[in-house]
Amino acid sequence: MQTDAVTKERAWRTHEELPLNRENFEALCRFDLPCLRITGFATDSECEELVAAMDAVGLHKTYKVPGLKQPPRYVGLTQFEKRQASKDDYFAEVDQAWHEHEAVISKMPWNPFERMWKLIRELYPECTLTLAEEPGYGRYYAGIIRDTTGGGTLHADVTMYSARDYIISQVVNQITWNFFATHVDGDGGKTTIHNRPYRVETKPGDKVEIEGFNRSYVDGAETHIYAPAKGDVVMFNSHNPHEWTAVDEGQRRMGVSSYIGRMPDGNFIYWS
């Protein structure tokens, strides 16, 4: 499996963090670029408004990450955190998560998610971009509002493995975007992206873990390290394994994130 992955691997075309446009977005989908950066997605005061809203509401949920002293805290709901539970369990929590989301967003004069969706719609006027919907279950949750100060362990976000019986497993590309609302400096808080899309040979019905897999999977892979910057969005192909370090003492790494996926018909869906 791994030999195969290695031989098929291509080097990234550049390590420059290129801006969001159609050509670069397509290249990101093809694994030709490590990431894109939207510099100045929000102003300093908009960033401060988000952080103040997060602090006022409080981030009361925690990712289940074994081995992490301070796992990310968040508001909302992620499908991957429910991957060991049933589909009913996930969809039963969607409405509540949207209420939590609304509690934060209603305290702000702007909406980072709507801003992002507008950019993608402008980029692909001939396509639709809609909240993911599961036949027979209804809408997904989309839009994690989170504090990732304590770091994140190596994983890949691949719905064909973590959401096999969900409609989101049908996406042909899975892009994650991360907006950063705080200034982080020093060595901490940086994300490493490994140029080795996560692929595992499986038999039908096999479960594949997208987190906690052996580090040797990324041995020898090309890497790109990006630094979060207040006001910027960084997008990358979430099939590439990634991880980030805890920030230096006294700093916080706050922001929002979701996935954008492309369906086989070319239209886009989003979810978390």
- Interface residues toward Fe ion, by CB under 5 A: 157
The Cα–Cα gap between 194 and 208 comes to 19
Cβ proximity to Fe ion: between 57 and 235 the closer is 235
Q: What are phi and psi of 23, to 5 degrees?
A: -60, -45
Cβ proximity to Fe ion: between 81 and 157 the closer is 157
- Containing 181, the helix (H) or strand (E) segment is none
Find the shortest distance in angstroms from Cβ 259 to Fe ion. 9
Pairing of strands 133-134, 129-131: unpaired
Q: What is the DSSP string of 93-145?
A: THHHHHHHHHHHHTTSSS-HHHHHHHHHHHH-TTS-EEE-EETTTEEPP--EE
Cβ proximity to Fe ion: between 53 and 177 the closer is 177
Find the shortest distance in angstroms from Cβ 136 to Fe ion. 27
Q: Which residues contact 141 (CB under 8 A, 6 or more apart)?
A: 76, 77, 78, 79, 93, 94, 97, 98, 101, 271, 272
Find the shortest distance in angstroms from Cβ 63 to Fe ion. 10
Cβ proximity to Fe ion: between 100 and 157 the closer is 157
Cβ proximity to Fe ion: between 55 and 243 the closer is 243
Q: Which residues contact 56 (CB under 8 A, 6 or more apart)?
A: 107
Find the shortest distance in angstroms from Cβ 260 to Fe ion. 13
Tell me the three state secondary structure of residue 150.
coil
- Token digits for 15? 């390590």
Find the shortest distance in angstroms from Cβ 219 to Fe ion. 20
